[in-house]
Amino acid sequence: MKRVLIVLVALVATPFLVGASQGQGHDAAHCAKRAAQHPGKEINKCDAPPANNPPPAPAPSCVASASGSGSSRIDGTVYNDLSTGRVGLATWCVQLTGTVTATAVTDGSGNYFCAGLPDGDYTICEDLQSGWSQTFPQSSWGTACPSGFGWSFSLSGGTGAGWVNFGNVKP
């Protein structure tokens, strides 16, 4: 009987002597196994699994700003000139200067839109992103911009300028 009592005391006391008690929780492998067996249920003495949150999207290089209070517009696409079908480039910044100043950020298809422009003369340029080279427009018909060439327009009476595009390649 003495031997049985000593073995029982040793079995019960061992976790306390090595610093592992019933209240400290289970190891990660045990918790993962129990979570797989009981999906959606809280597992006793296990930390909650880490949230599988994707990293936040990078902030665009510019923020869209409001245009003026007129009735004219300029729109176009910033696209990859080497891709089949000229795939649009998202989150590129386009700068409008002239009678009013505005910025636009391209959408998921590479499109931008500046609306509500009053009559006047405008120049629109793209902010060329690092590692890219501009292919369109070219110097022979484009207007000089800080990072390549852009377009210049005179708008009046609610007119618009469409297909004001920028082509780029990543060599």
* CB burial string 75-88: b at 16+ within 10 A, e below: bbbbbbbeeeeeeb
Q: What is the pLDDT of residue 142?
A: 87
Per-residue pLDDT for the chain (171 aa), expressed as one digit of tens each? 555 444 444 444 444 444 444 445 556 666 667 766 776 677 666 666 555 544 444 444 466 665 567 888 999 999 999 877 789 999 999 999 999 889 999 999 999 999 889 999 999 999 999 999 999 998 888 899 999 999 998 999 888 899 999 999 998
Distances (CA, A) of 153 to 11, 36, 74: 87, 63, 9
Distance CA 90, CA 94 (A): 11
Distance CA 65, CA 59 (A): 15
Query: Model pTM?
Result: 0.62
Distances (CA, A) of 39 to 49, 60, 78, 112: 11, 38, 46, 45
Distance CA 159, CA 54 (A): 43
Q: Is the peptide bond between 137 and the residue preceding it cis, with omega within 30 degrees of 0?
A: yes
Contacts of 166 (CB under 8 A, 6+ apart): 76, 77, 78, 79, 92, 94, 126, 134, 136, 137, 150
pLDDT tens for residues 31-81? 667 766 776 677 666 666 555 544 444 444 466 665 567 888 999 999 999
Distance CA 129, CA 60 (A): 11
